[in-house]
Amino acid sequence: MLRYYAGMRLLSILTACLLAAPAFAHDPEILGVSVEKVAGKHRFDVTILHPDTGWDHYADGWEVLDAAGKRLAYRLLHHPHVNEQPFTRSLSVDLPEGTREIFIRAHCSVDGWNKDTYRVTLEP
């Protein structure tokens, strides 16, 4: 009987630890990017999906990188999008002459930069 209670206590402790553990993080996912060249600049419309929970955890920005990983532009997202998923935000960028591809990477207020980038090939 003592062994039964010890086993039940251990099970209770393990259950409490699992319930108290933080949820698995989800990187902001870039679902798509559309590009339009207007007046010499490239306008990027970036669609992001992220399980924003509020001001404590949300997708808070994205950046445009060149092929070498150099930041060309940054778009700050000023608030969480809890009830607007996925969401699209735009940024116009003056790209260096000859740029043929760029990469978009999203940022989360808690988990930092997404490990994956979204590749965009530009029209000549």
Both tokens of 27, joined, read 């990187």
Q: Quote the percentage of the chain above a pLDDT of 70.
A: 80
Q: What is the CATH number of domain 25-121?
A: 2.60.40.730
Contact 73, 104 (CB under 8 A): no
Contact 96, 42 (CB under 8 A): no
Q: What is the pLDDT of residues 34-61, one digit of tens each?
A: 999 988 899 999 999 999 889 999 999 9
Q: Could you tell me the pTM of the whole model?
A: 0.76
Q: Which residues contact residue 22 at a Cβ distance below 8 angstroms, ignoring those fewer than 6 apart?
A: none
Averaged pLDDT, 60-67: 95
Q: Provide the mean pLDDT of the chain.
A: 84
Q: Residue 74 belongs to what H/E stretch?
A: strand 71-76
Q: Quote the percentage of the chain above a pLDDT of 90.
A: 61
Q: What is the pLDDT of residues 85-97, one digit of tens each?
A: 899 999 999 999 9
